[in-house]
Amino acid sequence: MARVFIVRHGNTFAPGEAPRRIGGRTDLALVDAGRDQARALGRYFADCGLVFDSARCGPLLRTRETARLLLSAAGHDGPATIVEWLREIDHGPDEDRPEAEVLARIGQPALDAWDRDGIPPEDWQVDAAARRAAWRDLFASATGTMLIVTSNGAARFAFPGAAKLRTGAYGEVVTDAQGRPMAKAWDVRP
C-alpha cells in the first residue's frame, strides 16, 4: 500500500490579471501568491508528520518551482524527479489565449465537457489513454509516501472521476495491495 499526494502547482497569475488558458507550451513561473501556496503546502505536510519517500514533478517551471519550495518548507533535502508525462496538456489554438476568447471559440458546452468529464475539444492535444496508463503504472509500482506535483490537465486523469484541482491544492490517493487507487481526499487547500 502506498500514499500518493498529488499537488497542483501554485498560482501563475497575479491579482487582477486576466486568466488565460495555460498549457504545456507556456512555461510560466509562479507569482508571489503561488510561491506562498507551495510553502504553505510544505509546512502543512511537515505539521502532519509526512515524510516523502520520493517526489516527482512535471517539467514546466511552475511545477518544478512548486515542488522545490514545497519540499524545502517540508524539510526535505532532495529534488523532485522530473517526469515528462506530468506535463500540462496542450490547448492547441487556445494555448495562452484569454478565457473569454477560448469560450467564444469552442463554446460553453465544450468547456463543460472538459471540466466535468475530461473530454477535450478536438484540437487540444491530451492523449488521455496514455495519461491514464501512466497513472495506472505509477499507482501499481508506488511504495511508501510519494509526492507528485503536476497540473490540473494531468491530474484529472489520475483515476476515474478525478475532479479539478485548484492551484495550490492537493489530493491524497491510497493504493491497495494490487496497486488500485482510491481517493482519500481531493482538492484540499491547507
pLDDT confidence band for 37 (50 / 70 / 90):
very high
For residue range 126-181, what is the model confidence (pLDDT) as tens digits? Answer: 999 999 999 999 999 999 999 999 999 999 999 888 888 999 999 999 999 888 99
pLDDT at 93: 97
pLDDT at 179: 86
> What structural domains does the chain harbor?
2-89+126-188 (3.40.50.1240)
For residue range 50-97, what is the model confidence (pLDDT) as tens digits? Answer: 999 999 999 999 999 999 999 999 999 889 999 999 999 999 999 999
* Nearest CA-CA partner of 86 in 18, 155, 36: 155
Q: Is pLDDT above 90 for 115? A: no
Computed over every residue of the chain, the mean pLDDT equals 95
Task: Tell me the DSSP string of 10-65.
Answer: ---S-TTPPPB---TT--PPP-HHHHHHHHHHHHHHHHTT---SEEEE-SSHHHHH
